[in-house]
Amino acid sequence: MGQDKGLVLYRGKRMVEHVVAACKELTPNILISTNNLDYSFLRYNLIRDNFKELGPIGGIQAGLAASETGDNIFCPCDMPGIQSAIFKKILEEKKDYQAVVAANSSGKLYPVLGYYNKNVLPVIEKQIAKGDFKMLHLLKELNAQTIIFPEEMLKNVNYPEDLQ
């Protein structure tokens, strides 16, 4: 994209605003994992990474460390079509799992779209300490579940042409 994707306009709103709207249907306790102060217009707590340049695992670690709840939902800012029904289904299926993540029918995992219990924080921090920042490796370490969703429900925006 060449810029912070969450701040890109999509159908009249910034992409992150679409995601926040879906999350607000479940909870008022929203944290925004970002190192960019431009997100302050949202008026939610901005959570900076505790470990710089690690990608998604760093954002999840920071979010869980800052969270005051055991149950936590995560969603990337580049999924402006996300619906609260996905979060509700994920939470219905969490049972005794430490993590529940979305996948499409082709088997592609979306490890940043899902549920993580705060008790996985030590596992994440141990993996970071080993220098392993891959989310797929983390999911193998956890008692994790995958839920299949139709591909159109999981559309993310990576290129300007995806904004159509």
pLDDT tens figures, 10-39: 888 999 999 999 999 999 999 999 999 999
Task: Domain 5-156: give its CATH architecture.
Answer: Alpha-Beta Complex (3.90)
* Domain spans in the chain, listed from the N-terminal domain onward: 5-156
User: What are the tens digits of pLDDT across the range 33-88?
Assistant: 999 999 999 999 999 999 988 999 999 999 999 999 999 999 999 888 899 999 99
Q: Which two tokens stand for residue 34?
A: 């970002």
Mean per-residue pLDDT over the chain, rounded = 91
Quote the crossing angle between the two packed helices 121-129 and 56-66, to the nearest 10°.
Answer: 140
Q: CA end-to-end span of the chain, whole Å?
A: 14
pTM to 2 decimal places = 0.91
Q: CA-to-CA distance for 83 and 110, rounded, in angstroms?
A: 15
Q: CA-to-CA distance for 164 and 161, rounded, in angstroms?
A: 6
Q: Which two tokens stand for residue 30?
A: 């929203």
Give the whole-number percent of the chain exceeding pLDDT 90: 77
Task: Name the H helices within 25-164.
Answer: 56-66, 84-92, 121-129, 135-141
Q: Specify whether the CB–CB gap between 121 and 64 falls below 8 A.
A: yes
**Residue bearing tokens 């899902």:** 114
